[in-house]
A and B are shown apart, each in its own frame.
Chain A
Amino acid sequence: MIVRILGEGQLRVDDSASADLNSLDTVLEKAVNAGDEASFRTALNALLDRVRALGTPLAADALEPSDLILPRADAGLDEVRTMMTDEGYIPG
């Protein structure tokens, strides 16, 4: 599958990593819902680090849509919450 980390680009990650990423994503989701900045930061970094470690970057001229899209590493808690609720936030 193809995963995009916003601000960094796309990576190809083996489908077998799905369960692993999902469990990290669940931790992240809980932190976002709880509004806990510290655990949000830790969870986001853990998820992004795992994707970076498992993935291989796609060529710059690849035109493939991503299966999963992740917030940028320095995204704030509010920013991620806005991103999840407000479609107007994303231009294009």
Chain B
Amino acid sequence: MSVMRRVSMIFKAKANKALDRMEDPRETLDYSYQRQLEMLTQVRRGVADVATSRKRVELQMNSLRQNQNKLEGQAKQALGAGREDLAREALSRKAALQSQLTDLQNQYHSLQADEEKLTVASQRLQAKVEAFRMQKETIKATYTAAEAQSRIGEAVSGISEEMGDVGMAVQRAQDKTAQMQARAGAIDELMASGALDDITGPPRDDIQAELDSVRAGGSIELELQRLKGELGAGSTPAIEGGANSSDGARPAAADRPQAGDGS
């Protein structure tokens, strides 16, 4: 059977079930209205869930970007220190983070689209619920049970169709959000457990450690050079000038204070 007609029939069957449930058709109005209010709450909760999920993905994206920036900074430092091997390692880790980031970006856009669609759906449902409420009061006030029957049919099936539509959209968004939450949770857990530390985390950041040791190594070298220089230049006066001659770098000057001390 045709796709359009089959889908339409299923929706109509749902609406008719709602109509058949009540003895007095006017009760159907109140029952349906209660369901509508519940559905509105459900849609709004759905929008909030999607927004929460989107924010979480956003936070993870930020943290991945920070890690990438850090790795780039380390690559620069490493290059400055003449360690191309370290720079290469840092950049390859940065590249590895990019695929995760791209994945999160796709999730983010998808959640953003869901959020917009659900927001529009919730506004549309709200407008219909309000229209239904007014119509319901008119029907209840104006018509006998028998007359109400025909009036109610259209309003109830119109809104029950909308509720079916919105209900599916919410269900869909919630399923997707749950999946994404699970994936986001997995990334959080990995980060917390340290399994991703080799790539991202500061606690066991071996690139930084090696850069630090390169820098430390550099300053140790400099200090060694300075000490060697001092020793090399001052060896002769240090022997001649005695124990208290601290400024023995200039042998000629070193003799004068000694002479002064002596007189």
Contact = CB atoms under 8 A, between A and B. Distances in A.
Same complex origin of A and B: yes
Nearest to B12: A65
A72 B169 CA distance: 9
B168 interface: yes
B245 interface: no
Contacts of A17: none
B155 interface: yes
A61 B131 contact: yes
A55 interface: no
A42 B171 CA distance: 25
Nearest to B126: A60
A91 B164 CA distance: 5
Contacts of B157: 65
A50 to B, nearest CB: 12
A63 to B, nearest CB: 4
Contacts of B131: 61-63
Contacts of A91: 163-164, 167-168, 171
Interface residues of B, number: 41
A70 B135 CA distance: 27
A28 B14 contact: no
A89 B6 CA distance: 13
Interface in A56-92: 59-72, 80, 83-84, 87, 89-92
Given A25-B2, A84-B6, A92 B158 contact: no
Interface residues of A, number: 34
B159 to A, nearest CB: 6
B76 interface: no
Interface string A23-40: 001101100100000000
A4 to B, nearest CB: 7
Contact of A69 (B11, B35, B132, B160): B11
Contacts of B5: 68
B223 interface: no
B47 interface: no
A54 interface: no
Contact of B161 (A25, A47, A69, A89): A69
Given A63-B159, A65-B157, A26 B2 contact: yes
A69 B12 CA distance: 10
Interface in B2-20: 2-8, 10-15, 18
Interface of A: 4, 6-7, 9, 21-22, 25-26, 28-29, 32, 47, 59-72, 80, 83-84, 87, 89-92
Interface of B: 1-8, 10-15, 18, 35, 39, 117, 121, 123-124, 127-128, 130-132, 135, 154-155, 157-161, 163-165, 167-169, 171
25 contacts: A4-B165, A6-B7, A7-B165, A25-B2, A25-B3, A29-B1, A29-B2, A29-B3, A32-B3, A47-B4, A60-B123, A60-B128, A61-B128, A62-B128, A62-B158, A63-B158, A65-B12, A66-B11, A68-B8, A69-B161, A87-B14, A90-B10, A90-B168, A91-B164, A92-B18
